[in-house]
A and B are shown apart, each in its own frame.
Chain A
Amino acid sequence: MTTTVQTATGEARTMVLNMGPQHPSTHGVLRIVLELDGETVVKAEPDIGYLHTGIEKSCESKTYSQAITLTDRLDYLAPLSNNLCYCLAVEKLLGLQVPKRAQTVRVLLTELTRIASHLVWLGTHAIDLGAMSVFLYCFREREEILKILEMVSGQRMMTSYFRIGGLALEPPTGWLEKVQQFVKMFPSRLEEYEDLLTKNRIWMGRTKGVGILSAEDAIAMGVSGPTLRAAGVPYDVRKFFPYSSYEEFDFEVPVRTESDCYARYLLRVAEMRESLKIVQQAIPRIPAEGPIRTDAPGIVPPQREKMKTEMEALIYHFKIFTEGFSPPPGEAYQTIESPRGELGFYVASDGSPKPLRVKVRAPSFVNLQSLSKLTEGRLIADVIACIGTIDIVLGEVDR
């Protein structure tokens, strides 16, 4: 940090300013060391690690099933995406197939999670830029999604609903009606947000032409998700490498080319519409009856009924919950499209009941690297818009 400026008195100096880690607009505990020339950012350096809780290390001392509860805590705005990715990785390692019914429920719930996550993003991003009411509107609808999640899993946020081989519980009767109600209600609510923001002159002034990232830079930095797609690169894991039966759904991947904060806003709103389309298609595809877990003795817990009548089922149940199961030595890397971008789980096994290594490819962690590129040469106020627009979750950045 050696840049200098001439002040009115002829003195040469720049100012280093700490933004965070307790700054409300840093969405958690992000610290940014800003070097300023007046109000212009010369250098912006994110400093992370304040929320590091050693989740990857903890996973190594838990059984494969126990580690699911830790994955919720990574990206706490989209816990089901993390559950899904981890489960898919372990299922890949084991070579397990998941029943169609469970797969479709997984798709439906992760898409609802995507909407909920984008709503938090929109609300907090708007509040950062001074639009208070959007926040209240967004949280109103998010609550409806959380109610559905609570109905299904018993938890609003840390659901741990997806398990290795399927789902934790049979979804309750009447839950699809609730989803149906949400699907009916939500499009008009989306219009409300757009009425408040899309043509709002202040909003456009704060976001248009701010935080531009070229497609080449984005790819070179490994940026993924809406930030990459707003730069004109149509990379969406759901389309490129479909998982959990996404290939059967009909949806578009919104892409824009302006690559500024405003484009990312429009893109995420469009993504919510697409997610809603997927949810709509998923509802009639979920059969009322059918297994929610695959039949894999020794790996997937047996049905309650069987445990009372079959000796083997009781033994398997006991073994799964006392010592876990041991996948064959090997490794698997699974990526999914989380609300923030390409989420990846690398799981390596040495043949013991505990993972040798669990590594999370956190999209927020990678995307945050591009913050310097987005903000350097711009005003401090734009830093706030840029932090908001890359949609980071510090739980996932720091792990």
Chain B
Amino acid sequence: MAEKPELEQNPAIQRLRAWNSRAVSEVSELRGEITVVVPRELLLGAAELLRGDTNLLFNFLSDLTCVDRFPNEPRFELNYHLLSLSRRAKLRIRVRTSGSDPVVPSLTSVWPGINWHERETFDLFGVRFEGHPDLRRILMPEDWEGHPLRKDFPVEGFR
């Protein structure tokens, strides 16, 4: 997953770099899927740029996934799968956050459809989304303790 020079030609990566020199901290490609790692504090700005820029137009949020890299740190990896319907292009944005303070900015202002995805990630992983209008559990019962998709949560549950 080494950095490749042709990836730098990707318009999204070029625009992100032009916007803020620190916006792209890592780029990789695997099986034709481009991943851009964005620092947590720049996520909201980067998302607004990717959605709003007339040359990028990533207007469709396909998915939000969290991966728990426990016991490694930073523990949580959030993957945003973006899609531009007009350009037929895809992009994966990744943000890493630590296990001790798993907070990322909410992107509900950019893609309103991310609302339930963020609630699900909060419910199952315990990652908090700052600025989310209604951050409640969505799949698990309200009084549930723990976050079941974390790697330190046993498959059979706590007994």
Q: How far is the CA of A214 from the CA of B65 in the complex (A)?
A: 27
Of B3-11, B15-23, B138-146, which stretch is located at the interface? B138-146
**Cβ-defined contact, B92 with A221, below 8 A:** no
**CB-based contact A359/B65 at 8 Å:** yes
Which single member of A52, A220, A346 contacts B139 (CB below 8 Å)? A52
B97 at the interface (CB under 8 A from A): no
* Majority secondary structure of chain A interface residues (helix, strand, loop or mixed): mixed
- Contact residue range for chain A? 35 or more
Give A365 to B117 CA distance when docked, in angstroms. Answer: 9
Which B residue sits closest to A335, measured CB to CB? B62
- What's the interface size class on B, roughly? 35 or more
- Enumerate chain A residues within 8 angstroms of B67, measured Cβ to Cβ: 331, 348, 356-357
Within 8 A of B (CB), among A223-279: 223, 233, 235, 240-241
A334 to B27, CA, bound (A): 20
Does residue B24 face the partner (Cβ distance < 8 Å to A)? Answer: no
> Is A342 in contact with chain B by the CB < 8 A criterion?
yes
Q: A48-B138, A49-B141, A333-B92 are in contact. Are A219 and B81 (CB under 8 A)?
A: no
Asked if A332 lies at the interface with its beta carbon under 8 angstroms from chain B, I say yes
1/0 contact string of B129-157 vs chain A (CB within 8 Å): 00000000111110000001100010100
B48 interface residue, CB < 8 Å from A? no
- A346-365 residues at the B interface, CB under 8 angstroms: 346, 348, 356-357, 359, 361, 365
Which chain B positions have C-beta within 8 A of A240?
88
* 3 closest Cβ pairs, A-B complex: A222-B113, A361-B63, A221-B113
Q: Which residues of B contact A (CB under 8 A)?
A: 1, 30-31, 33, 59-63, 65-68, 79, 81, 85, 88, 90, 92, 111-117, 124, 137-141, 148-149, 153, 155
Q: List 7 A-B contacts (CB under 8 A).
A: A48-B139, A49-B137, A49-B139, A60-B155, A219-B60, A220-B111, A333-B63
